[in-house]
Structure 1
Amino acid sequence: MTSLDGLSKVQLDEGVLRITISTADNGTSLDGEGLDQGTRALEAVGDRIGSVLLVGEGPNFCAGGNVRAFAAAPVRSEYVAEIARVFHAFVRALDAVTVPVIAGVHGWAAGAGMSLVCLADVAIGGPGTKMRPAYPSIGYTPDGGMSWTLPRIVGIARAREILLTDAVLSGDEAVRLGILSRLVGDDVVQDEALRLARTLAAGPTSSYSGIKTLLSASTTRTLAEQLDAEAASIAVAADSPIGREGVDAFVEKRRADFASIKEVRA
């Protein structure tokens, strides 16, 4: 991997934008520098990426905010507000991308870490992965969009229970609830997440974009409205370079070469 414009915690390789959201420093708490670099990269790379990969470096994906720093701040409200501003700028940039977002979730994903897992399109964990909202334990309320994403994943009633009781979720339970997509061996979580991110980065990017757009809008549309949107979207896809290549490859009984089309476009 090579660094992107000198940003040490953001790297671009084979179409995968890899963002380090925590390090072993400060107990794998949320890394403000990584978030800021991630936001800048997401806003700058455009068509250069085919997927986004969120990872933590250390024993955990992300153990949440740096609570010791909260306690040491001269004015806690101002300090936490600034952390939330940086975090939410990253969340907005991540939500705006049209390519798949993958999270490799090893160890703990607590607080802000769990919020980021809920934002991913595909989140891969291991048997040792654990998740916890963590906000009530320090008398805080959620950030990073958890109060918006979690009910949409597990339902409002279960979201209430998880948040109010500050529930600890095992990897198996997180998969059952749909927060994690699947489990692999603890020692290969990041490898499998990277493999998937590379596979998706080489895939039909415009198709993925259309899928994400349709899914996002489906929550506020009637079935009739969604059918109209699907019809319009699939018609556009049929005459796009990606759509033409996919159909032609199927008819010609060969593997579709979506990557070369994206290279020409770029």
Structure 2
Amino acid sequence: MAAATTRRHAVTVLAVSGYQTIAVEQSGPVARITLNRPEAANGMNAALTAELADAAAGLDRPDVKVVVVTGSGRFFCAGGDLKEFASAEHRGRHLKGVADNLHRAISTFARMDAVVITAVNGTAAGAGFSLAVTGDLVLAAESASFTMAYTRVGLSPDGSSSYYLPRLIGIARTKQLMLTNRTLSAQEALSWGLLTEVVADDHLAARADELADQMAATAAGSNGGVKALLLGSFANGLEEQMELEGRLIAARAETAEGREGVDAFLAKRPPKF
């Protein structure tokens, strides 16, 4: 990482160099990944998904407590880069590689202790829609829109959408989105349960920073525990899930964060995580 000249809350912003299709920076415990192909609507090509997977792995560290994912320009992400796919000698093999790297990134985001905030600044289509709703907290600008768009070009969903969407909105609505390619406005997506919050376009970045700072003050291990428990909840029976809860809360009680949290509560002071 190389130190940049800008500062956020008096903390030096460190920019990660070497990426061509994304921009990565870290300010204290908060990291930001920006999909950075505005000339191509931040479309996912082989380079972008490979870099996204690499960045996710690189940020899966104890000092990173929040990861914000957003897009540059007017789009969050318009989905896969169809021009690149069409030019590939072996389309299926090429597309499988692109999807594999996107899936590696999403898997890392889902399992890292850091809270992942997706800040959807514009259209999220196809894999962009899929990525958007994987955030632990999902913010969207008022002008953002969401559409699956896969079957429109004869393809099928990827990017974990067939896992997350049924859990978020149920099978019937998932089929409607995937089969009819209905476009949802940000307010519709919020009412369906796909988003955490909708904010004015010109306030999205500030609200993402505000929420990131709020999460950065919390216990990373506890946040990771929440994510791990919820990720497995649909696959486990009641007793298995409760056993996992019991074991995890006992383990958390022995950690420095657990001790500090309890001690701070009893002392009636803010915890220092």
1:174 aligns with 2:189: yes
Higher helix share: 1
CA shift in 2, pair 1:188/1:31, >3 Å: farther
Question: How far apart are the structure 2 equivalents of 1:198 and 1:48?
Answer: 14
1:132 match: 147
Equivalences for residues 111-130 of structure 1 within 5 A: 111-130=126-145
The farther-off stretch of 63-72 and 166-175 is: 63-72
Question: How far apart are the structure 2 equivalents of 1:245 and 1:31?
Answer: 45
**3-state SS in 2 of match to 1:48:** coil
How far residue 81 of structure 1 moved from its aligned partner, in angstroms, is 2.6
1:71 match: 86
**3-state SS in 1 of match to 2:85:** helix
2:52 match: 38
Aligned partner (choices 233, 237, 242) of residue 252 of structure 2? 237
Aligned partner (choices 191, 198, 206) of residue 183 of structure 1? 198
C-alpha RMSD of the superposition: 1.9
Amino acid at match of 2:68: L
1:11 match: 25
Contact conserved, 2:142 with 2:199, CA < 8 A, in 1? yes
How far residue 185 of structure 1 moved from its aligned partner, in angstroms, is 0.9
Amino acid at match of 1:210: G
**3-state SS in 1 of match to 2:114:** coil
Equivalences for residues 172-251 of structure 1 within 5 A: 172-251=187-266
CA shift in 2, pair 1:69/1:152, >3 Å: same
Q: TM-score, normalised by structure 2?
A: 0.87
How far residue 82 of structure 1 moved from its aligned partner, in angstroms, is 2.9
Question: How far apart are the structure 2 equivalents of 1:181 and 1:31?
Answer: 28
The farther-off stretch of 155-164 and 2-11 is: 2-11
Amino acid at match of 1:15: P
Question: How far apart are the structure 2 equivalents of 1:31 and 1:251?
Answer: 52
How far residue 107 of structure 1 moved from its aligned partner, in angstroms, is 1.3
Question: How far apart are the structure 2 equivalents of 1:25 and 1:257?
Answer: 43
Cα offsets for 1:118-156 (capped at 9, x unmatched): 211111012211100011111110111111111111111
Q: TM-score, normalised by structure 1?
A: 0.89
Contact conserved, 2:33 with 2:69, CA < 8 A, in 1? yes
CA shift in 2, pair 1:112/1:215, >3 Å: same
Contact conserved, 1:128 with 1:171, CA < 8 A, in 2? yes
2:10 match: none
How far residue 6 of structure 1 moved from its aligned partner, in angstroms, is 4.4
Question: How far apart are the structure 2 equivalents of 1:3 and 1:33?
Answer: 19
Question: How far apart are the structure 2 equivalents of 1:73 and 1:227?
Answer: 49
Question: How far apart are the structure 2 equivalents of 1:108 and 1:41?
Answer: 23
- Segments of structure 2 that go 5 or more residues without pairing to the other structure are 1-12
How far residue 109 of structure 1 moved from its aligned partner, in angstroms, is 0.6
Question: How far apart are the structure 2 equivalents of 1:201 and 1:126?
Answer: 22
Contact conserved, 2:111 with 2:224, CA < 8 A, in 1? no
Amino acid at match of 1:20: T
Question: How far apart are the structure 2 equivalents of 1:183 and 1:118?
Answer: 13
Percent identity over the alignment is 34
The farther-off stretch of 15-24 and 140-149 is: 15-24
Aligned partner (choices 178, 184, 187) of residue 163 of structure 1? 178
1:81 match: 96
Amino acid at match of 2:96: A
**3-state SS in 2 of match to 1:12:** strand
- Segments of structure 1 that go 5 or more residues without pairing to the other structure are 259-266
Amino acid at match of 1:18: R
Question: How far apart are the structure 1 equivalents of 2:232 and 2:101?
Answer: 26
Pairs aligned (count):
258
Higher strand share: 2
How far residue 80 of structure 1 moved from its aligned partner, in angstroms, is 2.2
Question: How far apart are the structure 1 equivalents of 2:265 and 2:46?
Answer: 46
Cα offsets for 1:46-75 (capped at 9, x unmatched): 212101111101101111112232333344
Contact conserved, 2:118 with 2:133, CA < 8 A, in 1? no
